[in-house]
């Protein structure tokens, strides 16, 4: 039996306090982030994920059509639709042999990582590409070796063909705040040359559920919602100085080619809206046919800037095939629109 106050000789008291703050609910979890061993008390899960970075062909409009306004066509943005991208791909285990399926609406996004406040995330990363890459998380608690960015620390730049395991603590400061819903989203992305790598497609999300609100120990999704959707609003710059190379995309698709946002009247639906990109990535995200609740405020448009993360709730009340788009006129014209479907 290990005394939860036990620590290695020379471990500073403030380090132990910090470790307890980072994971006070842990079951005999040994935290070594702070240069010493600190064994912490009580209960929480260690959730493991296996992610590879891989090169992949990507088509921004697989149908080859403007599915919002067919008569308008794809314009200059349809001249070239297929590019080589870099993606985060989730796997079932450390063999990296069986890719995990993803809902169609996730598009280019990497796998969703889920946790409950108090959990630990262990993310095993394999770089299968031809350039150094990393995984840098927003929001969670990490040491320098687990930052996935900045300098020569372990995990800051994983060479081609190499692997690194990141350990992140989902402490209270990583969870929903008092005015937040029961789950919130954090971005993760590569951060060796971040300004290039998000544009390549190396982006995903971490969804954190408030303590006591998970479905079960094995299912960390919040129990007070029926569905959660994520939408990345981002302009991918594929051809410098060429307007047709600026792909105004939702999860990497343009002109209604993102499919799968489907729900029913009476469902409790949560949308996690995130953004990355450049100064042109100032987006006003609008749902037709429905209002949303965001931190106690009722609206049908939410504003996002690069690296924004916001979670909103709705209860669909009107059946239909509704537009879901950026309300910036130039962005709408360039294809930053899709549809969300509400069935009776």
pLDDT (tens digit per residue) in 75-87 = 999 999 999 999 9
CB atoms within 10 A of CB 108: 25
Of 188, 7, 24, 58, nearest to 111 by C-alpha is: 188
Q: Which pLDDT belongs to residue 273? A: 98
Please choose, from the candidates 131, 313, 147, the residue with its C-alpha nearest in 3D space to the C-alpha of residue 222.
313
Domain co-membership, 161 together with 20: no
Predicted confidence band at 255 (pLDDT cuts at 50, 70, 90)? very high
The per-residue DSSP string of 35-52 comes to SS-EEEPS---EEEEEEE
Is the pLDDT confidence value at 92 over 70? yes
Co-location of 14 and 133 in the same domain:
no
Number of domains in the chain: 2
| Eight-state DSSP code of residue 61 | -
DSSP string computed for 120-149: EEEEEEEE-SSS-B--EESSSB--GGGS--
> Are 71 and 168 members of one domain?
yes
Are 335 and 250 within one domain? yes
Whole-angstrom distance, CA of residue 177 vs CA of residue 270: 16
In this structure, are 62 and 161 located in the same domain?
Answer: yes
- Please, what is the average pLDDT of the chain? 90
The per-residue pLDDT for 151 is 84
Between 31 and 200, name the one with better pLDDT: 200
Q: Are residues 287 and 236 located together in one domain of the fold? A: yes
What are 299's two structure tokens? 């609206």
108 and 233 together in one domain:
yes
Q: What is the pTM of this model?
A: 0.88
Buried b (16+ CB within 10 A) or exposed e, 144-153: eebbbbeeee
Q: pLDDT-derived band of residue 3, with 50, 70 and 90 as boundaries?
A: very low
Is the domain of 71 the same as that of 183? yes
Domain range spanning residue 208? 47-343
Whether the predicted pLDDT of 165 surpasses 60? yes
Q: Of 86, 136, 135, whose CA–CA distance to 108 is shortest?
A: 86
For residue 16, CA distances in Å to 9, 40, 121, 141, 175 come to 12, 9, 20, 15, 21
Cα separations (Å) of 61 from 77, 103, 212?
A: 10, 17, 41
Query: Is pLDDT of 40 > 70?
Result: no
- The confidence score (pLDDT) of residue 344 equals 95
Is 6 a residue whose pLDDT tops 70?
A: no
C-alpha distances (whole Å) from 91 to each of 26, 29, 50, 51, 200 are 26, 25, 5, 6, 20
pLDDT of residue 15: 45
Task: Residue 166: name the closest of 185, 186, 190 by CA.
Answer: 190
Both 61 and 76 in one domain: the answer is: yes
- Mean of the pLDDT values across residues 169-196? 97
Looking at residue 240, what is its pLDDT?
81
Q: How many other C-beta atoms are found inside a 10 Å radius of the C-beta of residue 159?
A: 11
The answer, yes or no, to whether residue 213 has pLDDT greater than 60, is yes
**Using alpha carbons only, how large is the chain's radius of gyration in Å?**
21
pLDDT at 100: 98
Pairing of strands 38-40, 29-31: antiparallel
User: pLDDT confidence of 43, banded at 50, 70, 90?
Assistant: low
Tens of pLDDT along 264-305? 999 999 999 999 999 999 999 999 999 999 999 999 999 999
Please check whether residues 338 and 272 belong to one and the same domain: yes
Q: Please give the pLDDT value at position 44.
A: 85
Per-residue pLDDT band for 217 (boundaries 50, 70, 90) equals very high
Residue 42: the pLDDT is 39
Choose the weakest-confidence range: 11-20, 37-46, 264-273, 287-296: 11-20
96 three-class SS: coil
**Angular region, 42: left φ>0, alpha ψ -120 to 50, beta rest:** left
Concatenating the DSSP letter of every residue in 300-317 gives SEEEE-TT-EEEEEE---
The answer on 65 and 15 residing in a single domain is no
Give the CA angle between residues 281, 282, 285 to the nearest 5°: 110
* 83 and 35 inside one domain: no
The answer to whether residue 138 scores a pLDDT higher than 90 is yes
Which distant-in-sequence residues (6+ apart) come within 8 Å of 299 by Cβ? 291, 292
Task: Tell whether the model's pLDDT for residue 27 goes beyond 80.
Answer: no
CATH code, 202: 2.60.40.420
With cut-offs at 50, 70 and 90, classify the pLDDT of residue 154: confident
């Amino acid at each position: 039996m290990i005394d939860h106050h036990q620590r290695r000789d020379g471990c500073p008291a403030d380090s132990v306090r910090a470790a307890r703050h980072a994971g006070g609910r842990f079951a005999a979890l040994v935290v070594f982030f702070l240069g010493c061993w600190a064994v912490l008390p009580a209960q929480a899960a260690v959730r493991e994920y296996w992610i590879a970075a891989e090169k992949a062909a990507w088509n921004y409009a697989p149908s080859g059509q403007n599915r919002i306004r067919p008569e308008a066509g794809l314009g200059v943005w349809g001249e070239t639709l297929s590019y080589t991208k870099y993606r985060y791909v989730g796997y079932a285990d450390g063999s990296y042999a069986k890719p995990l399926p993803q809902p169609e609406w996730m598009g280019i996004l990497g796998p969703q990582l889920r946790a409950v406040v108090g959990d630990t995330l262990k993310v095993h990363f394999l770089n299968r590409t031809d350039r150094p890459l990393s995984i840098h998380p927003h929001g969670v608690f990490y040491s320098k070796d687990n930052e996935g960015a900045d300098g020569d620390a372990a995990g800051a730049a994983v060479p081609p063909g190499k692997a690194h395991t990141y350990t992140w603590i989902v402490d209270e400061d990583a969870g929903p705040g008092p005015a937040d819903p029961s789950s919130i989203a954090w971005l993760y992305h590569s951060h060796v040359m971040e300004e290039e790598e998000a544009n390549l497609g190396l982006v995903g999300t971490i969804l954190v559920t408030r303590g006591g609100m998970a479905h079960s120990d094995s299912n960390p999704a919040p129990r007070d919602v029926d569905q959660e959707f994520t939408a990345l609003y981002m302009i991918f710059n594929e051809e410098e100085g060429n307007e047709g190379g600026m792909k105004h995309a939702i999860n990497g698709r343009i002109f209604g080619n993102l499919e799968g946002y489907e729900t029913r009247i009476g469902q409790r639906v949560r949308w996690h809206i995130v953004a990355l990109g450049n100064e042109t990535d100032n987006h006003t995200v609008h749902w037709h046919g429905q209002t949303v609740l965001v931190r106690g405020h009722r609206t049908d448009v939410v504003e996002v800037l690069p690296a924004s993360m916001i979670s909103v709730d709705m209860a669909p009340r009107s059946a239909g095939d509704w537009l879901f788009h950026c309300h910036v006129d130039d962005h709408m014209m360039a294809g930053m629109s899709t549809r969300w479907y509400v069935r009776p």
